[in-house]
A and B are shown apart, each in its own frame.
Chain A
Amino acid sequence: MVSGVNGARLEVRGVSHAFALEKRSLPVLQDIDLVAEPGEFVALLGPSGCGKSTLLRLVAGLEPPTEGQLLVDGVPITGTHPSRTIMFQDPTLFPWRTVRGNAQLGPEARGTLAADSKRIDEALRLVGLAGFAEAYPHQLSGGMAQRASLARSLVNQPRILMLDEPLGKLDSLTRLAMQRELVALWERERFTALLVTHDVEEALLLADRVLVLSDRPARIRADIRVETPRPRRRDDAGLVALREEILALLGLAEAA
């Protein structure tokens, strides 16, 4: 693998976003300013429905923001690009394709199937689905579907990888193993990572920075740097203190 940083610099400048409902408009994001340095691992925490997935959709280029600008390495985002892949909150596997067929979607779409075939096998092995490569999505459990979806986004060698609650449906043991794999992968490929999670501990174990969002419309309430060197232990004193701080922030957010 390539050493050094592959990730791109992401800038979110004064972004606000609203959805047009029947009669009114629903503001979802408000004045989001954020810079993720190349290769940085940023976690997003916030109450349900506050707009985390929406922010990822804007970065992916699936929708333009109502206000503000998003830039990758100084270039405005105008649409989707395979260097910015997203693992959606729902696995959204294609039911007519096997697990392997789903994982190879990106290379197939870009015509790099032959060159990437080893990478596809590797991604399936990484998420522990090598033995299920020929299974169809309806034969998978919820957690397996989520891992297949993770493999599908990993094969694309993204420069910005967005993960929307990637480990939400996994049991705690698999979850721990997958967290370790994610960090190892990130250390190897040094993409810029945006991780949405509900799990404060997970955010602290994985990320360089934790952004705490407010209730809808989401604003950035806190930007917390996690300096603890990796590999991290969940009972590390610094992490425990940060955890208390973030929980307090989220508790306030719920009360507001």
Chain B
Amino acid sequence: MSATTLGAGLLAPARPAALWPTGWAAGLAWIGAAAAISLLPDADDLGRTQELAALAAGFGGVILLAAIGASLPGLAPRLARLRQAGPWLILLALALLAWELATAKYEVLPRPFFAAPQSILEVFTDDYARLGESVWRSLLLVGPGYALGALVGFLFGVAMGWSRLVGYWAHPVVRLIGPLPATAWLPIAFFAFTSSRGASTFLIALASFFPVTVLTWSGVSAVSKAYYDVARTMGASPWFLVRKVAVPAAMPSVFVGLFMGLGASFSVLVVAEMMGVKAGLGWYMQWAQGWAAYANMYAALLVMAAMCSGAVTLLFRLRDRLLSWQKGLVRW
């Protein structure tokens, strides 16, 4: 508690209600970029140029409003976090401008491969239904698979770390099979399961299973014997030792496993969607590439990045909640 407030205090500007020059610069940069997008002629016939300009101008306007708000004592504390993003806001405006100039305005970059910003915006405005559907289908596929793999991996890891017998038999198997990329099972999985959905769920579960198992196992094995001694002298049963000592003590390690498993699950998801499943973001990208619709591909890539990052953010939120007793957590 006190540690976090202290951390925020160190990062926040010394006088929150002071002028925010970076904010003014960022707002003006966005409006400048908007003007260039709107006023310079496109080299080719492109849609949504004016909409993109309006969007950029609107964004710039919001930043300018925030810059005004940052000078008001009442609003300043709430905008403290936005203030930290100031330099990034400027950089993003410049990047958008450079991208726009290099593609739409002067065609420095070969056009079909390098889509103009407004073309990607066009994908979002015109094809949002199919994109949204793809996200939903991807989540439906990855969610249950990841959850299943993580749950089984967690239970398996605890059993391996706790019981010498389970450890003895499971260790060589996990050691041999675990490091194999889950995608290597692809041909077998699609052959063994009648539905591509079942096969993909299995592969995604396998991908999250391994890291969660290994890290849970090592977390449980590393629990200090002194904790068990304390609990045992107070009359703890073996079941209590597992549930209330081994598992909580191993949680930091378990979360590392969950995080790694999430990454592995996403990578299997995309491959599975490209190879067999006829839905989801991976399939959308494959399809877009087939039609040389590169703007759609980039749009799907952006959405995928947001989806994966969102999932990791959720996981880290959960961790911050459950592991608030730890000091020095890495912020995501």
A-B contact count (CB 8 A): 67
Shortest CB–CB separation between residue A133 and chain B, in angstroms? Answer: 14
Q: Cβ of B233 and Cβ of A86 under 8 Å apart?
A: yes
B77 within 8 Å of A (CB atoms): no
Give the residues from 171 to 209 in chain A that come closer than 8 angstroms, CB to CB, to chain B. none
- 1/0 contact string of B226-237 vs chain A (CB within 8 Å): 110111111111
Nearest-CB distance from A90 to chain B (Å)? 7
A82 contacts B233, C-beta separation under 8 Å:
yes
Chain B residue numbers with a CB within 8 Å of A90 are 226
B236 touches A96 (CB 8 A): no
Q: Which of B7-15, B240-248, B285-293 touches A?
A: B240-248
For window 210-256 of B, CB contacts with A under 8 Å fall at: 224, 226-227, 229-237, 240, 244-245, 248-249, 251
Q: Using C-beta atoms within 8 Å of the partner chain, give the interface range for chain A.
A: 20 to 34
State in angstroms the CA–CA spacing of A92 and B229 once bound together: 10
Q: Do residues B226 and A82 form an inter-chain contact, with CB atoms below 8 A?
A: no
Q: Is B326 an interface residue (CB 8 A)?
A: yes
Most chain A beta-carbon neighbours within 10 Å: one of B229, B230, B231? B230
Q: What secondary structure prevails in chain B residues at the interface with A?
A: helix
B125 within 8 A of A: no
**A221 interfacial by beta-carbon distance below 8 Å:** no
- Are B232 and A92 within 8 A (Cβ)? no
Report the Cα distance A92→B326, complex, angstroms. Answer: 15
A106 to B240, CA, bound (A): 11
Pick from B226, B234, B249: contact of A106, CB below 8 A: B234
Determine if A84 and B233 form an interchain contact, defined as CB atoms under 8 angstroms apart. Answer: yes
Known: A94-B245, A136-B325. A110 touches B234 (CB 8 A): yes
Q: Decide if B194 is an interface residue (CB 8 Å cutoff).
A: no
Q: Is A75 an interface residue (CB 8 A)?
A: no
**B325 to A109, Cβ gap below 8 A?**
no
The A148-172 residues at the B interface (CB cut-off 8 A) are: 152, 156
Q: Size band of the B side of the interface?
A: 20 to 34
Q: Report yes or no: A60 in contact with B251, Cβ–Cβ below 8 A.
A: no
Contacts of B5 in A (CB 8 A): none
Residues in B with CB closer than 8 Å to A109 are: 231, 234-237, 240, 244
The CB with the most chain A CB atoms within 10 A, among B2, B248, B325, is that of: B325
Asked if A96 and B251 sit within 8 Å, CB to CB, the answer is: yes
Q: Which A residues lie within 8 Å of B235 (CB)?
A: 80-82, 106, 109-110, 156
Query: Are the CB atoms of A156 and B230 closer together than 8 Å?
Result: no
A234 an interface residue at 8 Å Cβ cutoff? Answer: no
Is the beta-carbon distance between A85 and B234 smaller than 8 angstroms? yes
Q: How far is the CB of A256 from chain B (nearest CB, A)?
A: 32
Complex formed: what's the CA distance from A84 to B233 in Å? 7
| In the complex, chain B residues whose CB is within 8 Å of the CB of A95 | 325-326
B-facing mask of A69-95, CB < 8 A → 1, else 0?
000000000001110111010101011
A-B contacts, 5 of them at CB < 8 A, read A62-B233, A94-B248, A109-B235, A109-B236, A139-B2
Question: 5 tightest CB-CB pairs across the interface, nearest first?
Answer: A82-B235, A106-B234, A109-B236, A96-B248, A136-B325
